[in-house]
Structure 1
Amino acid sequence: MSRTWLRRGVLLAACAASLLLAACGSSTIESQLNPTRVVTFGDAFADLGQKGSRYTVNDGTVNNWTEQVALAFGLSLTPSSKGGTSYATGHARVVAKPDDVADNATPTVKEQIDKFLAADKIGANDLYIVNAGTSDLIVEGVRVAAGAETADQAVANSRQAGRDLAAQVRRLVDAGARFVVVVGPYNLGRSPWAVGASITSAMENASGRFNDDMLVQLVDLGDKVLYVDAALEFNLMVASPPSFSMTDSVTPVCTSVDPGPGIGIGSGQVNSALCTPSTVLANATYNNYLFADKIYPTPAGQNRFGDYAFQRIRSRW
């Protein structure tokens, strides 16, 4: 068994390295990317407010990591529903429609890319960000918690979703995209939801295998695709919030309970899409907290990851 895990670890390290590092042949960066525009696809983690609000504390600041990356390049980024190039939508899964916990009209990541490719053209200096997997994992976790499927089934389904996301990234590259950033789910086993539902192990395994299988499928695209490791960065933030100027990485700071399906983990749960500075814990400074609700981060968590993502992009291209 130890040899199997060792071989798997070596393989995945090689895959990740090819997507984290620039192509071989030069030890210096000859030019830096100055994108003409940023185009994003994904789920609630990247949603800039397709339906009017974001999955964080809605305080009117730069409170989503994709917007922060765009601004770092001197570019604006707005939802496609407002004529912009951010197609990411809350509850979006990679290729499957949401379960009955969400609006079945939600466009999948595949459908988001379909819409873009049908109406627009790939630009030579466009920066594409594809961020998905969280909604797929939530569906699996809810089923495991309810006893509707086993943890092994959840892992198998998550692995397929990871391969499906890689296929969507490949579509962009095949269409001519030269700069594609891919971000899978963070380790949902560390989320307040998984901890509270006693599914930490199942969600940690599902998150890891989603990203593992996605990386294996993308290994040959290392010259055009950059993997930004959300799992690594969020593991660090959860383990040591003071290192990121926060004090709490376990308590959701929002109090905005949604009587409906909310973020997909069940009715009557806190939904950060309904959260504002007036609906947080009493006497709390919300940016001292990592989590807005049981899944999605506060503006502080978003900004820390945005900084990390921009640094990775800038060091690569």
Structure 2
Amino acid sequence: MAANWMRRSLMVAACASAALLAACGSSTTESAISPQRMIAFGDGMSDVGQKGTRYTVNDGSVNNWTLQVASGYGKTLSASSAGGKSYAAGNARIVAKPDAAGSNTTLTVKEQIDSFLASNTFTGDDLVMINGGISDVIANMAAVNAGTMTTEQMITASRQAGTDFAAQIRRLVNAGAKYVVVAGTYDLSKTPWATDIGRTTALNSASSAFNEGLLVGIVDLGANVLYVELASYVNRYTDSPSAYGFENATKAVCTSVDATDGIGIGAGKVNSALCTTSTLLASANQDKYAFADSVYLTPSAQRQFGTYAYDRLRSRW
């Protein structure tokens, strides 16, 4: 069953990605975009400090992929809570509440877009970056562990969340966004968390289902939407870590234990939103690790994905 699901998911994702790429033309000096405003939505992967810290090692560097893309264009990006245009928030789900950590106050991705559109309109030189799916898969896995959802229901719910995500991306385009960069979830079966709880198969299927729902839903938006393969990129980190400068892609480098359920994987777990250079494994070089905590990526991993996304942007528009 799982093998059939994976084959189907991979075929759908490949076809959808190909369709999106078919709308792409080579960028030229004359046609290359020069964004004047950077806007972001999403979850902990894109959160640049909604509550003051980021879901990575908080070392003062450009340690988030959206910041890396912005820096490529000579721009900056700050959290909406600080007056900026990044609405992404840790643990945010696409449309469901509570969030992955059980809070009802975190804005969903839909609500983040609502908030932006309530007082802003898109212009022709805006660049929108959006990610989603990580928190929905985490929340669905928590429901399975609690016995309120079966594994098959988790997979179905994750696919629906991907479909809901696609609807929000379509909303952006319909509201006038010309350039939208989209990342789904990475394969959460590759995380230290998946290994710790022994649920790699279920998390692989749920992650694939989310991305399948997303890709099918945006397959006709290639003129305005660029899908960047976060799942594929993180797979490379874990499959061939040394090629990306990593020596460890199976263990978290942070030691910042959160007494609460800070990232949705249980209380008493490491939460990178609390991590600084003073809360790392003894003698560890953070640049040699792919994961900051059991779910989220280190600054080096974030920057490398951001550079990849920027390069894709430059070749696309």
Q: How does the TM-score come out when normalised to structure 2? A: 0.95
Q: What SS does the aligned partner of 1:76 have?
A: coil
2:141 alignment counterpart: 141
Q: Return the letter of the residue paired with 1:88.
A: A
Q: Does the C-alpha gap of structure 1 residues 205 and 305 become closer, same or farther in structure 2, counting only changes over 3 Å?
A: same
Aligned equivalent of 1:19 = 20
Deviates more, 1:204-213 or 1:9-18: 9-18
State the 1:9 CA deviation.
Answer: 4.9
Structure 2 CA distance, aligned partners of 1:33 and 1:44?
Answer: 27
Q: Which runs of 5+ in 1 are unaligned?
A: none
| Residue aligning to 2:68 | 68
Q: Post-superposition shift, 1:147?
A: 3.5
Aligned CA distance change for structure 1 residues 286 and 7 (closer, same or farther; 3 Å): closer
Residues 244-303 of structure 1, C-alpha deviations (whole Å, 9 max, x = no match): 011000010100000011111100000000000010000111111000100001101111
Pair 1:47-2:47 in alignment:
yes
Aligned-pair CA distance for 1:31: 1.4
Per the alignment, residue 59 of structure 2 pairs with 59
> Which residue of 2 is the match for residue 233 of structure 1?
233
SS of the residue corresponding to residue 130 of structure 1 reads strand
Counterpart residue identity of residue 19, structure 1? L
What is the DSSP-based 3-state SS (H/G/I as helix, E as strand, rest coil) of the residue aligned with 1:129? strand
Alignment of 1:1-317 (within 5 A): 9-23=10-24, 29=28, 31-99=31-99, 101-317=101-317
CA contact (8 A) 1:272 1:293 kept: yes
Rounded Cα–Cα distance in structure 1 between residues aligned with 2:164 and 2:200 = 24
- Quote the offset at 1:138 in angstroms: 0.4
2:9–2:212 CA contact under 8 A, matched in 1: no
The structure-2 alpha-carbon separation of the partners of 1:140 and 1:147, relative to structure 1 and needing over 3 Å to count, comes to same
Instruction: Give the match's secondary structure for 2:196.
Output: helix
Specify the SS of the correspondent of 2:218: helix
Q: What CA distance in whole angstroms lies between the structure 1 residues aligned with 2:113 and 2:101?
A: 23
Deviation at 1:149, TM superposition (A): 2.0
* Overall identity of the aligned pairs, in %: 51
1:20 CA displacement: 3.4
CA-atom RMSD in angstroms:
1.9
Conserved in 2, the CA contact under 8 Å of 1:192 and 1:250?
yes
Instruction: Give 5+ residue unaligned stretches, structure 2.
Output: none
* Secondary structure of 1:162 counterpart: helix
Contact 2:163 2:214 in 1 (8 A): yes
In the superposition, relative to structure 1, how do residues 6 and 189 fare at CA in structure 2: closer, same or farther (>3 Å)?
closer
